[in-house]
Amino acid sequence: MKRIVIVGTQWGDEGKGKITDYLAQKVDVVCRYQGGNNAGHTVIFDQKKHSLHLLPSGILNPKITNVMANGMVINPKAFVDEIKKIDDFKLAISNRAHVVLPFHSELDKAYESKKEHKIGTTHKGIGPAYTDKAARIGMRVSTFVHPERFYEKLMKMVEQKNEELHAFGCPLLDGQSIYDEYQAYAKVMAPYVIDTSVLLNQAINDDQKILFEGAQGVLLCLDHGTYPYVTSSSPTAASVPVNTGVAPWLIDGAIGVTKAYTTRVGEGPMPSEIFGELAHSIRIKGNEFGTTTGRPRRIGWLDTVILRHTKRVSGLTYLAVTLLDILSGVDTLKIVTHYEFEGEIIDYIPSDIEDFESCKPITIDMPGWHEDITGVTSFDELPDAAKHYLNQLSHLVGVEIAIFSVGPDRNQTISMKDVF
Ligand code: IMP
């Protein structure tokens, strides 16, 4: 395969950044195709931790071209904060991506505070920015980096958004001070702004290898996720063509990044959720706290109903299983195979959230292992129970495992199959 999509198969935080960074060593281009700084991708190498929110996870490799594609919503302040920490990089930003401005985050908070059923958003203004895009009143990057057009459009937006903020009883924003501050960010961004669809298609014509990096996970997809507890874009592989300007038939496959258990941040049903001492110890051991918001993540058993759903709606060529080491020390592991819903055994995610909420997990027990596996370098070195767990996972999802990881460092990633 030459053009591969990295997809989160659960509710995000599966370790996509780590897998992208690992595979990025073999590619020419890494392209982020949706979301904004609601994402948090942690990449660790040489004992140094890098937290990325907006930048593609290939940015730490100076030889790779990194693309922020048209499907993204970019907060310029967050962008400047992140890029100034990187010394040497190659980057292109789509002129068609949309810009997240201060009123988007303010409205995100205001909507959440008024909602009876909160989504638990990251408050980064992602939903309001995509809403503006869909309502055809948003601001593209090409407008943002054009000083006069930016000024004119910003003033109109501030006037309209202040009406909304006023209705919520929130403080109003001053257009001129936003302009003064954001003009400086526009100047930093401007040299990187191009039509990234041209760059990507040229790379394909030149037979280059591309990784398309999704943010969040398929269960947070606006269409195929657990609506309304979702983000406002589509992390599926199917969304790559429209979000990048690359034809669907030029994409060769998708790697589904799957945590060895399940986590979720924010509200919404999670049938495999566990509580108490075990959930707490997995949370601490796996450092299951949001990279973006610091919120504790909810913990659950591996849920294969979800994984088969992701496989179907997004397509998965291979799996990359992360955080296997965190499960060491649990006597008996459970895997969710089906749900019980209204007295029946089902193998799908009901569309209505009330129905999904009433699904009870049906599980199988798997023997755990107690060995520390953080130093293993091959599948054969794993304890039998860990091998069995991975084999069962692959069997239940019906997708071969190409990679698994046993620790946060780049060199704790084990390749079982060459994906390129
Ligand atoms: P938003 O994307 O900030 O609008 O948040 C919508 C939902 O997606 C909330 O439940 C968030 O917690 C969740 N979410 C957004 N980004 C991420 C992520 O990168 N990892 C996990 N959950 C996320």
Would residue 207 be called left, alpha or beta, if left means φ above 0 and alpha means ψ between -120 and 50 degrees? left
Please indicate whether residue 126, judged by its CB atom, sits closer than 6 Å to ligand 1: yes
Atom of ligand 1 minimally distant from the CA of 268: 10
Ligand 1 pocket test: which of 9, 231, 267, 297 has the largest number of ligand atoms within 8 Å of its C-beta? Answer: 231
The mean pLDDT value for 154-180 works out to 97
Q: What's residue 47's pLDDT?
A: 75
- Would you name the residues annotated as active-site residues? 13, 41
Give the SS3 label for residue 77.
helix
Closest residue to atom 10 of ligand 1, CA basis: 266
Q: Strand 253-259 vs strand 318-322: parallel, antiparallel, or unpaired?
A: parallel
∠ at Cα 232 (66, 341), nearest 5°?
120
Alpha carbon of 127 to ligand 1 centroid (Å):
10
Confirm or reject: Cβ of 213 under 6 Å from ligand 1. no
- Confidence at residue 44, expressed as pLDDT on a 0 to 100 scale: 75
Long-range contacts of 330-334 (CB under 8 A, 24+ apart): 330/278, 330/282, 330/368, 331/368, 332/365, 332/366, 332/367, 332/368, 333/301, 333/302, 333/365, 333/366, 333/367, 333/368, 333/389, 334/301, 334/302, 334/363, 334/364, 334/365, 334/366
Whether residue 50 is predicted with pLDDT greater than 90 in this model: the reply is no
Ligand 1 atom nearest 293 alpha carbon: 12
CB atoms within 10 A of CB 398: 12
Whole-number Å distance, alpha carbon 37 to ligand 1 midpoint, is 10
Residue with CA closest to ligand 1 atom 21: 12
Burial 263-281 (b: 16+ CB within 10 A, else e): bbbbbbbbbbbbeeeebee
Longest pairwise C-alpha distance within the chain: 65
The answer, as to whether pTM is greater than 0.85, is: yes
Residues 270-320: tens digit of each pLDDT: 999 999 999 999 999 999 998 888 899 999 999 999 999 999 999 999 999
Judge whether 278 and 368 are in contact, CB under 8 Å.
no
Percent of the chain exceeding pLDDT 70 equals 100
What separation in Å is there between the alpha carbon of 93 and the centre of ligand 1? 23
**pLDDT of the residue at 322:** 98
| CB of 231 sitting under 6 A from ligand 1 | yes
Instruction: Please determine, for residue 135, whether its predicted confidence score (pLDDT) is greater than 80.
Output: yes
pLDDT: which is higher, 114 or 391 = 391
User: Do β-strands 298-300 and 360-367 pair in parallel, antiparallel, or remain unpaired?
Assistant: unpaired
- Per-residue pLDDT tens digits for 172-205: 999 999 999 999 999 999 999 999 999 999 999 9
For the chain, how many helices (H) and strands (E)?
13, 21
pLDDT over 90 (residue 387): yes
Overall average pLDDT of the 258-263 stretch: 98
pLDDT band at 227 (very low <50, low <70, confident <90, very high): very high
Percentage of the chain beyond pLDDT 90 is 91
Average pLDDT over residues 312-330: 98
Residue 71 in tokens: 């499907």
